[in-house]
Structure 1
Amino acid sequence: MTNSMNKPPIWFWIVSVIALVWNGLGVHGYLSQAYETAAYTDAYTADQLEVMNDLPAWYTALFAIAVFSGAIGCILLLMRKKFAKSLLILSFIAATIQMVYFLFIADLNGVDFSANTIMAYIIIVFAAFLAWFASKSNSKGWIH
């Protein structure tokens, strides 16, 4: 039987902080792309930027949903709030749809995005882990 006052182990806090940093980097990436900062534009070739700019608006919206729900979900994990689970599941769903589109459906016009391909898989795996972690934390009574 779980108790809503169960004290989480130290590794819960470590994972939650690492997850917040990870999602914070995602928020930074989204804002850099949205405002076309030098850090964003310098990371891509002209051909890659053209492809990125041609992606549909819903793709960019999924990016925002994934990173902001993930970051807020991680903050709620640290606050031990149950709503973290819902936000991290939403983040996983949005990130997965976004990455599947990028990996298998989007017309990349033959432009090489091999470094992004590896990161896309890492993003899906990490988002799945965080959704599982929040669900497990909920079932253990670490979040309430």
Structure 2
Amino acid sequence: MTNIKPPTWFWIVSVLALLWNLMGVGAYLADAFMSVEALGEMSQEMRELYEGRPAWATAAYAIAVWFGALGCIALLMRKKWAVPVFLISLIGIVGQQIYNFFLSNTFEVVGSGAMFLPIMVVVIGVALWLFARSSAAKNWIS
């Protein structure tokens, strides 16, 4: 099968997706390397929430952001392996959000208004996986 040149909007979506995922990587790194001083500035409830997070939830967060960024790079390189990479990222997103929504008191501590971003992360994760699948089906990536 031959590659078909993708439309301009493919490149726009792919670059915006990479920027979105790089923001996620930055947030993860800030979270993972939080200083003792920054922890000390948190409220007691926030500190307990942060320190009580299980390793698997942190791992799901890392998988979500790193594989999301890698999937975007694969899109920009027009590689079909973007599809399974985005699926792995989506599995990480789901794992992270299962913890946030059902296994922790995150929204009791930060308020229900903080639900918007996690929901948006899930929606964008699904959209990027579907976008990669569609791009592969149209032979924009191979």
TM norm structure 1: 0.88
| TM-aligned CA distance change 1:73 to 1:43, over 3 Å | farther
How much does 1:108 deviate?
Answer: 4.1
Matched, 1:15 2:22: no
Q: Deviations over 1:16-55 (max 9, x none)?
A: 00000000000000000010059x7699644223202211
Q: CA deviation at 1:106?
A: 1.6
Q: Which residue of 1 aligns with 2:59?
A: 61
Residue type at the aligned position of 1:126: I
Q: Which runs of 5+ in 1 are unaligned?
A: none
Cα RMSD between the aligned structures? 2.2
1:98 aligned residue (89, 96, 99): 96
Counterparts in 2 of 1:95 and 1:109: CA distance versus 1, 3 Å: closer
Pair 1:45–1:115, CA change in 2 (3 A): farther
Could you tell me how far 1:127 is from its partner in structure 2? 0.2
Q: Is the 8 A contact 1:4 1:142 kept in 2?
A: no
Identity of aligned residues (%): 40
User: Structure 1 pair 110/87, CA: closer, same or farther in 2 (3 Å)?
Assistant: same
SS of alignment partner, residue 96 of structure 1:
helix
Shifted more, 104-113 versus 131-140: the winner is 104-113
Displacement of 1:114 in angstroms is: 2.9
Count of matched residue positions in the alignment of Structure 1 and Structure 2: 141
**Structure 2 regions of 5+ residues with no counterpart?**
none
CA distance in 1, matches of 2:51, 2:20: 24
Give the C-alpha shift of residue 104 in structure 1. Answer: 1.8
Amino acid at match of 2:33: Y
Residues 48 and 113 of structure 1: CA distance in aligned 2, closer, same or farther (over 3 Å): farther
State the alpha-carbon separation in 1 of the partners of residues 40 and 19 from structure 2: 23
Check conservation: 2:64, 2:92, Cα contact below 8 A.
yes
